[in-house]
């Protein structure tokens, strides 16, 4: 369901890739958390006598994307079909065809890299079966090392029917993100009509949010999407973006009187590194002096509104990864995020090295004045920088630190022009 495996901070790059042993160890540790007190070890196909579960790496242990239940071709094929949202069209079609082949059981024999699980007590599969009222198996996804990495589970029946989608919080950052998504989905499900009503924007239902052993679990309904589902590209879906922005009402106010500005102005105090704290404080203060009197519209945003977090199905836009949802942000943040994060995926150089002079074009459908559009681009970059700074100071935030420095330097290099307040 989630191609990012992380809702998380888009555009995270940088840092040396971990070696093969580090990668294998990270996946084994994730499985050990899900099958407590069990023995988890590498195994060859056919060596699973007495095992509780055998999981196969896709495509292999050197480049793991997914662990799927071995010996259950229906479940393995379903997991593979639904784990394709960050791929291009040709790759997704190929992944769908591969999934169809896997269902026959024949290609599974070529999956040589396995994890064998023996012994132990109640597993996450046992716990989810009790919660959901039916036998289930899980496939396991794990993102690359970053502050918001978390195990992602596709919960399936043994025959491969989608049952649920689970995010696992095993760090402080991940638990906070899961709590934020639970709150967001509770809020949105109370305000957005369901797809049966003819609404064109659908968010998953929250089935459960709670703690199991040392882990937080966010259990969501599976959205009806597949590897071949159509995703919007190039331009964010305008009507659905507007629906989301207006979901809790729209407030019109000067920037300096907004809750958004209060949060942004208070954020430098949360930055541990003194040099970064001072630099970020400087760019926030400068923006406040330049744009504080500007009157803007404030509403809701998804926080990671990108093609890989959404898909069309039967005329309805299905959207997932609501961890960064927030209210009271300037109009246009989702449009900017969609445009800039999509462009970043195809750019040849490092991100945040040049000012996005054309970004304000994404805001043209909103009819903003030049002053409001320019200020909105800067405020979006400040919000992104705030997010990066806080995530990068986490223990596994290393891969994000180079991007953080470049973005902070970019904001310093392009100070805003002070101008009198104007309505958009």
146 assigned to some structural domain? no
Instruction: Render each residue's pLDDT in the chain as its tens digit; 424 residues.
Output: 333 333 333 444 444 455 677 888 889 999 999 999 999 998 877 655 678 899 989 888 888 888 999 888 778 777 776 654 444 444 443 444 344 444 545 455 567 789 999 999 999 999 999 999 999 999 999 876 665 678 999 999 988 899 999 999 988 888 999 999 999 999 999 999 877 777 899 999 999 999 999 999 999 999 886 544 556 666 789 999 999 999 999 999 999 999 999 999 999 999 999 999 999 999 999 999 999 999 999 999 999 999 889 988 888 999 999 999 999 999 999 999 999 998 888 888 899 999 999 999 999 999 999 999 999 999 999 999 999 999 899 877 888 899 999 999 999 999 997 654 445 5
Residue 379 CB partners (closer than 8 Å, separation 6+): 255, 260, 264, 287, 291, 330, 333
Tell me the C-alpha distance between 35 and 18, whole Å: 24
Residue 13 CB partners (closer than 8 Å, separation 6+): 350, 351, 399, 402, 403
90 assigned to some structural domain? yes
Under 8 Å between Cβ of 221 and 154: no
Looking at residue 9, what is its pLDDT?
Answer: 37
The CATH number linked to 305 is 3.90.1200.10
Tell me the C-alpha distance between 259 and 255, whole Å: 9
301 assigned to some structural domain? yes
Residues 244, 104 share a domain: no
Looking at residue 3, what is its pLDDT?
Answer: 38
What's 81's DSSP letter? H
134 assigned to some structural domain? no
Looking at residue 48, what is its pLDDT?
Answer: 57
Tell me the C-alpha distance between 329 and 297, whole Å: 8
Tell me the C-alpha distance between 71 and 83, whole Å: 19
Looking at residue 279, what is its pLDDT?
Answer: 98
Buried b (16+ CB within 10 A) or exposed e, 332-341: bbbbbbbbbb
92 assigned to some structural domain? yes
Q: How many CA atoms lie within 13 A of 133 on its CB side?
A: 2
**Alpha-carbon distance values, 146 to 69, 168, 188, 262, 346 (Å):** 26, 15, 28, 28, 21
Domain limit, last residue, from 124, 157, 189: 124
User: Which structure tokens are listed for 298?
Assistant: 């404030």
Residues 242, 104 share a domain: no
Number of domain units in the chain: 2
Domain limit, last residue, from 59, 90, 124: 124
Instruction: Indicate the helix (H) or strand (E) that contains 211.
Output: strand 206-212
Residue 98 CB partners (closer than 8 Å, separation 6+): 80, 107
Domain of 62 in residue numbering reads as 19-124
10 assigned to some structural domain? no
Residues 400, 259 share a domain: yes
Instruction: Give alpha helix (H) positions in 273-353.
Output: 274-291, 333-346
Instruction: Give alpha helix (H) positions in 192-323.
Output: 238-245, 259-266, 274-291
Could you tell me which residues are beta bridge partners of residue 155?
Answer: 138, 164
Under 8 Å between Cβ of 325 and 249: no
Residues 377, 248 share a domain: yes
User: Which structure tokens are listed for 181?
Assistant: 């998504």
Residue 112 CB partners (closer than 8 Å, separation 6+): 44, 45, 60
pLDDT tens string 109-118: 567 789 999 9
Q: Helix, strand, coil: what percent of the chain each, to 5?
A: 40, 20, 40
Give SS3 for 406. Answer: helix
348 assigned to some structural domain? yes
Residues 275, 406 share a domain: yes
User: Which structure tokens are listed for 55?
Assistant: 């999981």
pLDDT tens string 229-240: 556 666 789 999
Looking at residue 122, what is its pLDDT?
Answer: 96
357 assigned to some structural domain? yes
Neighbours of 403 (CB within 10 A): 23
In Å, the largest CA–CA distance within the chain is: 75
Under 8 Å between Cβ of 28 and 40: yes
Residues 406, 282 share a domain: yes
User: Which structure tokens are listed for 243?
Assistant: 């629906």
Domain limit, last residue, from 74, 105, 124: 124
Quote the strand ranges of 130-179, DSSP E: 137-142, 151-156, 162-169
């Amino acid at each position: 369901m989630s191609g990012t495996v992380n809702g998380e901070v888009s555009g995270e790059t940088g840092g040396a890739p971990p070696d093969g042993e580090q990668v294998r160890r990270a996946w084994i540790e994730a499985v050990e958390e899900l099958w407590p007190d069990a023995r988890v070890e590498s195994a060859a196909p056919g060596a699973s006598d007495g095992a509780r579960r055998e999981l196969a790496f896709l495509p292999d242990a050197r480049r793991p994307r997914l662990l799927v239940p071995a010996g259950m071709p229906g479940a393995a094929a379903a997991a593979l079909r639904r784990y394709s949202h960050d791929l291009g069209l040709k790759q997704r079609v190929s992944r769908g065809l591969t999934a169809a082949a896997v269902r026959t059981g024949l290609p599974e024999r070529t999956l040589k890299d396995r994890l064998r699980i023996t012994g132990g007590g109640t597993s996450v599969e046992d716990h989810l079966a009790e919660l959901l009222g039916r036998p289930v198996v899980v496939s396991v996804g794990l993102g690359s090392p970053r502050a918001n990495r978390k195990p992602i589970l596709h919960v399936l029946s043994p025959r491969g029917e989608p049952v649920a989608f689970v995010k696992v919080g095993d760090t402080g950052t991940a638990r906070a993100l899961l709590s934020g998504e639970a709150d967001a989905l509770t809020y949105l499900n109370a305000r957005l009509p369901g797809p049966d009503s003819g609404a064109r924007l659908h968010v998953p239902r929250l089935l459960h949010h709670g703690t199991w052993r040392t882990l937080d679990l966010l259990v969501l309904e599976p959205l009806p999407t597949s590897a071949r589902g159509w995703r919007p590209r190039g331009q964010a879906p305008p009507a659905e973006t507007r629906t989301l922005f207006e979901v809790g009402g729209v407030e019109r106010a000067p920037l300096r009187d907004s809750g958004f500005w209060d949060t942004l102005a208070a954020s430098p105090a949360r930055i541990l590194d003194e040099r970064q704290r001072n630099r970020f404080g400087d760019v926030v203060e400068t923006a406040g002096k330049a744009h504080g009197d500007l009157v803007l519209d404030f509403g809701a945003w998804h926080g990671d509104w990108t093609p890989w977090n959404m898909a069309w199905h039967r005329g309805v836009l299905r959207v997932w990864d609501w961890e960064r949802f927030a209210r009271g942000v300037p109009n246009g943040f989702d449009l900017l995020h969609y445009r800039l994060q999509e462009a970043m995926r195809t750019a040849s150089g490092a991100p945040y090295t040049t000012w996005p002079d054309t970004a304000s074009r994404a805001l043209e459908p909103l009819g903003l004045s030049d002053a409001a559009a320019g200020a909105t681009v800067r405020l979006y970059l400040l919000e992104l920088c705030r997010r990066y700074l806080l995530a990068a100071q986490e223990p596994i935030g290393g891969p994000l630190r180079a991007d953080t420095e470049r973005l902070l330097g970019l904001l310093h290099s392009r100070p805003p022009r002070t101008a009198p307040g104007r309505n958009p």
